[in-house]
């Protein structure tokens, strides 16, 4: 990497740009709905948008707009995928002390309730992972707290109406906010804005940006890709360089996504990748599992049960890393047909599919 290229903060995924390109309308909608500046109107929201559409940034930014007369909490359903973990996290945010494991859920619920004195906004990001476990009970509890607004965030469900109990939804009743995919134009502006702050003016070829943002509108992928290219570049990020590092960049994106999961999740994903190099997808669950077990054996690691791996496949599906068509029965039995998701939206650039 050359000295003329600065790949620090603006090209990190966690970087919150000063200007939030392309989501002004959604930001205004939330601000207005909550009446942050005037009389506050707490209300529940469900925010939906595919991966890399700025949901997390939108809400983290939104939470910072509240004055100190509010309490705001951000909880990730990936890191806190059970009611207990989410509540423990919430308690930690409210009091600064962590409880550890071993307590009664009802006790923590009571403690949290006692802590809530100011109007409180709780963002539950990646809510789908909670809903795989007992997230329903969490939402039931949260939506029944007084003086509290709940904002759920999902990359998979545009509504939670049929994902939670009626008793939960009846008090939840969220406003719906959908973030559409960025256009290639918006994606290019966002990337250009970050590049401008991180890179020397001449070190980025315009065509490289165009190539990246026409390939993917997922900003998380695009930023990872640009950073990968910048780190590889001698002195300029060109289109051909972007093409060269395309696969490596996507792998890097996958690694960051799977970072918070177990080694078995990563091994499972790698198993499917390798299967695709040998054989035409899709693969049934059994095929994937047998291959996974073999890889475990080769690595000298105990393999998890098929039941467990079935759940992990669902995780990969929620992460939009694989897609599965479900067969509820029939001649081929009850199974899933699994293939990796093709990240690139260029028509006909790979084999037909």
Partner DNA sequence: CGTCCACCGGAAAATAGGGAGG
Partner DNA sequence: CCTCCCTATTTTCCGGTGGACG
Question: Which of 35, 333 has the CB closer to DNA?
Answer: 333
Closest alpha carbon to 318 in 229, 258, 256, 234: 258
Candidates 28-36, 163-171, 214-222, 284-292; binding stretch for DNA (CB under 7 A): 284-292
Give the Cα separation of 336 and 349 in Å (integer): 27
Is 97 one of the binding residues for DNA (CB under 7 A)?
Answer: no
Is 103 one of the binding residues for DNA (CB under 7 A)?
Answer: yes
Smallest gap from residue 290 Cβ to DNA (A): 8
User: What are the residues whose beta carbons fall under 8 Å from the beta carbon of 314, sequence distance 6 or more?
Assistant: 132
Residues numbered 115 to 174 that lie near DNA (CB under 7 A) are: none
Which of residues 44, 287, 315, 322 is near DNA by CB under 7 A? 287
Alpha carbons within 13 angstroms on the beta-carbon side of residue 245 total 23
Is 109 one of the binding residues for DNA (CB under 7 A)?
Answer: no
- Classified as helix, coil or strand, 77 is coil
Give the Cα separation of 304 and 158 in Å (integer): 32
Is 258 one of the binding residues for DNA (CB under 7 A)?
Answer: no
Which of residues 181, 193, 306, 323 is near DNA by CB under 7 A? 306
Candidates 28-36, 81-89, 170-178, 342-350; binding stretch for DNA (CB under 7 A): 81-89
Candidates 63-71, 123-131, 189-197, 282-290; binding stretch for DNA (CB under 7 A): 282-290
Q: Are the beta carbons of 204 and 237 closer than 8 angstroms?
A: yes
Smallest gap from residue 127 Cβ to DNA (A): 16
User: What are the residues whose beta carbons fall under 8 Å from the beta carbon of 311, sequence distance 6 or more?
Assistant: 132
Give the Cα separation of 112 and 71 in Å (integer): 12
Is 113 one of the binding residues for DNA (CB under 7 A)?
Answer: no
The interaxial angle of helices 184-198 and 219-232, nearest 10 deg, is 40
Is 335 one of the binding residues for DNA (CB under 7 A)?
Answer: yes
Which of residues 304, 316, 318, 321 is near DNA by CB under 7 A? 304
Is 188 one of the binding residues for DNA (CB under 7 A)?
Answer: no
Is 336 one of the binding residues for DNA (CB under 7 A)?
Answer: yes
Is 293 one of the binding residues for DNA (CB under 7 A)?
Answer: no
Give the Cα separation of 178 and 28 in Å (integer): 13
Residues forming a β-bridge with 334: 328
Q: Which residues contribute to the site for DNA (CB under 7 A)?
A: 81-82, 84-85, 100-105, 262, 264, 284-287, 289, 302-308, 310, 313-314, 326, 328-336
């Amino acid at each position: 990497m050359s000295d003329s290229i600065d790949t620090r903060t603006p090209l990190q995924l966690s970087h919150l740009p000063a200007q939030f390109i392309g989501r002004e309308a959604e930001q205004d909608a939330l601000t207005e709905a909550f009446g942050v500046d005037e009389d506050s109107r707490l209300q529940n929201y469900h925010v939906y948008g595919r991966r890399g559409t700025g949901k997390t940034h939108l809400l983290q930014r939104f939470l910072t707009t509240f004055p100190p007369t509010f309490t705001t909490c951000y909880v990730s359903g990936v890191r806190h995928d059970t009611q207990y973990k989410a509540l423990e996290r919430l308690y930690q945010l409210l009091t600064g002390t962590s409880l550890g494991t071993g307590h009664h859920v009802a006790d923590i619920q009571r403690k949290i309730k006692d802590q809530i004195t100011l109007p409180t906004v709780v963002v539950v990001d990646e809510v789908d992972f909670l809903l795989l476990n007992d997230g329903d009970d969490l939402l039931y509890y949260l939506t029944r707290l007084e003086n509290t607004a709940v904002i759920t965030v999902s990359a998979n469900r545009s509504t939670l109406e049929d994902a939670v109990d009626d008793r939960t939804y009846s008090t939840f009743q969220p406003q719906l906010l959908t973030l559409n995919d960025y256009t290639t134009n918006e994606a290019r502006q966002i990337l250009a804005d970050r590049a401008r702050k991180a890179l020397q003016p001449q070190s980025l070829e315009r065509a490289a940006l165009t190539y990246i943002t026409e390939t993917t509108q997922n900003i998380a992928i695009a930023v990872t890709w640009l950073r990968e290219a910048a780190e590889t570049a001698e002195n300029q990020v060109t289109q051909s360089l972007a093409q060269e590092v395309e696969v490596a960049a996507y792998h890097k994106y996958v690694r960051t996504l799977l970072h918070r999961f177990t080694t078995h999740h990563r091994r499972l994903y790698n198993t499917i990748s390798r299967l695709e190099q040998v054989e035409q997808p899709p693969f049934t669950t059994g095929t994937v599992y047998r291959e996974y077990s073999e890889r475990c054996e080769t690595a000298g690691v105990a393999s998890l049960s098929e039941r467990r791996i079935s759940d992990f496949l669902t995780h990969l599906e929620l992460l939009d890393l694989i897609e599965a068509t479900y067969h509820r029965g029939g001649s081929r039995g009850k199974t899933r047909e699994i293939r990796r998701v093709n990240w690139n939206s260029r028509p006909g650039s790979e084999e037909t599919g």
